[in-house]
Amino acid sequence: MNDFLMEKQKEACGVFGIINNDDFDTARMVYYGLYALQHRGQESAGIAVKSGNTILCHKDMGLVPEVFDRVILNQLQGNVAIGHVRYSTTGDSSVSNAQPMVLRYRNGNMAIAHNGNLVNASVLRDELESQGAIFQSTNDTEVIANLISRYRVMSNDIVDTIKKVMNEIKGSYAITMITPKRLVGIRDPFGIRPLCIGKTGNSYVIASESCALDAVGAKFIRDIEPGEIVLIDEEGNLESHKSDKKEASSLCIFEHVYFARPDSNVDGVSTHMARVEAGRILAKEHPVEADIVIGAPSGGLDAALGFSRESGIPYGHGLLKNRYVGRTFIQPEQATREKGVSIKFNPIKSEVTGKRVVLIDDSIVRGTTTRQIVTMLKEAGAKEVHMRISSPPYKFPCFFGIDTSTRKQLVASYSSIEEIRELIGADSLAYLSLEGLLRTPVGSTLGFCTACFNGNYPMDVPDEVEKNSCG
């Protein structure tokens, strides 16, 4: 694959939706839901609220509490709302790509928020533009909205319209949408990104992860199935339909490895338990003699617990992560770094000095952070550092909404395990096998996308990585 194309951005996001049949403050509920989904996206945040026949929307760059304050939330009055947090590390991070997108079409107003990445958005965009369509963003969510508007003109049924759009778009999508009459949730036929439904009082909630339902006091009802379209009206009636397309389910396994919050259940599996299990299997596959097991916060903590339980090596809290350092943190420059500036992580010396340490992390992407952490632990007096990774080597880029940088930055795509060990400065390094990883979502009845580990993409991936989609 061409490197230029590989370098375009991929993102992941979080979506939320609510239809208020009680008397709570709709926008505030979305705000709390988005707060719980902040780990899925820190670049921009937005809320759209249906107020009578209009849709009010506020979105901006920044974290949820930076984008919204009391005054703004008070202005967003209405009974149906959706929200979005967007994540990206490179490329075009402008407010024009922030979501939800609000559009006017023949039937009224629509708002749409999307987590995922279409692999054929530019083909569809070209087609639409050649027919005269105008786009305000470079976002593939707008392509979806455009197709909905187009097919809606030809059909008087929203379900039929959505099914037609689902036949056209390819890739991953978990969508919340406001139409003139309903709140809609849509999950792509492969079910690559998660989406679930909950209920509080007489009101329904749709969210990327169940932790957001907990945050607003909603009871988890069920996951939205791959290929399912859920519509909820203002009388509280819930309808479910299935896309015409049937595919083998392929939930992104990286949701369990890293992306989802450990207090979420994704497709019936506790993310925390899947990670603990990964740590257990890792301890069986790659045992090591050591005095303490620590996790790299926060992705490695649950697996470290599993490793400790299985190996009998005591679990310790050996590394502190400053929780206020977000993705927008300005990294120290080389010169400042050489002075020993380390704001993000700091070892807890009393736990690691003089000890043989097993350090668990969920993945190594570029190797940069891992090398810094290993160096810190050694400087803090760790006698040995044995790195154990609770997933297989990350070798292939994701086209479906996880930012994994460019292939040339995926260290495992061009280095042997021994070379990576040397790069990060660990005394030993071992990874969980793919077979082991696939045993971790205990009880899951769905299949998984494991393309980042073995290159087996669930659908044809394009030569060209779509740009600026919301992932």
Q: Which of 29, 50, 75 is nearest to 206 (CA)?
A: 29
Binding of ligand AMP by 362 (CB under 6 A) = yes
C-beta separation of 31 from 83 below 8 A: yes
Q: Which of 39, 49, 60 is nearest to 18 (CA)?
A: 49
Is 13 a residue of the active site? yes
Residues 61-120 that bind ligand AMP (CB under 6 A): none
- To ligand AMP, the closest distance from the beta carbon of 325 in angstroms equals 13
Between 20 and 404, name the residue whose CB sits nearer to ligand AMP.
404
Helix (H) or strand (E) holding 45: strand 44-51
Candidates 111-119, 169-177, 348-356, 400-408; binding stretch for ligand AMP (CB under 6 A): 400-408
DSSP for 60-111? EES-HHHH--HHHHHH---SEEEEEEE--SSS---GGG-S-EEEEETTEEEE
Candidates 64-72, 191-199, 339-347, 363-371; binding stretch for ligand AMP (CB under 6 A): 363-371
Between 214 and 403, name the residue whose CB sits nearer to ligand AMP.
403
- To ligand AMP, the closest distance from the beta carbon of 455 in angstroms equals 17
- To ligand AMP, the closest distance from the beta carbon of 219 in angstroms equals 30
- To ligand AMP, the closest distance from the beta carbon of 458 in angstroms equals 19
Binding of ligand AMP by 296 (CB under 6 A) = yes
Candidates 16-24, 38-46, 267-275, 355-363; binding stretch for ligand AMP (CB under 6 A): 355-363
Binding of ligand AMP by 400 (CB under 6 A) = no
Which residue has 């502190």 as its token pair?
A: 320
- To ligand AMP, the closest distance from the beta carbon of 389 in angstroms equals 9
Sequence-distant (6+) residues with CB within 8 A of 332 are 341, 342, 343
Between 14 and 299, name the residue whose CB sits nearer to ligand AMP.
299
Binding of ligand AMP by 258 (CB under 6 A) = yes
Other beta carbons within 10 Å of 407: 15
- To ligand AMP, the closest distance from the beta carbon of 220 in angstroms equals 26
d(CA 192, CA 158): 23
Between 58 and 378, name the residue whose CB sits nearer to ligand AMP.
378
- The residue within the footprint of ligand AMP, chosen from 299, 318, 401, 462 (CB under 6 A), is 299
Between 167 and 298, name the residue whose CB sits nearer to ligand AMP.
298
Between 119 and 257, name the residue whose CB sits nearer to ligand AMP.
257
Binding of ligand AMP by 363 (CB under 6 A) = yes
DSSP for 444-457? --S-EE-HHHH---
Structure tokens at 48: 């759209």
User: Coil, strand, or helix at residue 112?
Assistant: strand
Which region holds residue 185: left if phi is over 0, alpha if psi is between -120 and 50, else beta?
A: beta
Total residues binding ligand AMP (CB under 6 A): 16
Binding of ligand AMP by 402 (CB under 6 A) = yes
Give the angle subtended at the CA of 300 by the CAs of 348 and 449, to the nearest 5°.
Answer: 165
C-beta separation of 467 from 8 below 8 A: yes
Backbone angles phi, psi at 351, to 5 degrees: -85, -30
Per DSSP, 198 falls in state E
Map residues 158-197 to x or -, x wherever contact with ligand AMP holds by CB under 6 A: ----------------------------------------
C-beta separation of 436 from 278 below 8 A: yes
Binding of ligand AMP by 417 (CB under 6 A) = no
Q: Which is it for the CA torsion 441, 447, 448, 454, positive or negative? A: positive
- To ligand AMP, the closest distance from the beta carbon of 369 in angstroms equals 3
C-beta separation of 294 from 323 below 8 A: no
Candidates 21-29, 51-59, 200-208, 401-409; binding stretch for ligand AMP (CB under 6 A): 401-409
- The residue within the footprint of ligand AMP, chosen from 38, 270, 404, 444 (CB under 6 A), is 404
User: Coil, strand, or helix at residue 27?
Assistant: helix
d(CA 257, CA 253): 6
Map residues 366-395 to x or -, x wherever contact with ligand AMP holds by CB under 6 A: xxxxx-------------------------
Between 304 and 402, name the residue whose CB sits nearer to ligand AMP.
402
Beta bridge partners of 47: 58, 83
d(CA 173, CA 17): 15
C-beta separation of 392 from 437 below 8 A: yes
Candidates 22-30, 33-41, 397-405, 434-442; binding stretch for ligand AMP (CB under 6 A): 397-405
Structure tokens at 425: 């400065």
Binding of ligand AMP by 302 (CB under 6 A) = no
Candidates 155-163, 263-271, 374-382, 402-410; binding stretch for ligand AMP (CB under 6 A): 402-410
Instruction: Compute and round to an integer the Cα radius of gyration of the chain.
Output: 22
**Residues annotated as part of the active site:** 13
**Residues forming the site for ligand AMP (CB under 6 A):** 258, 296, 299, 361-370, 402-404
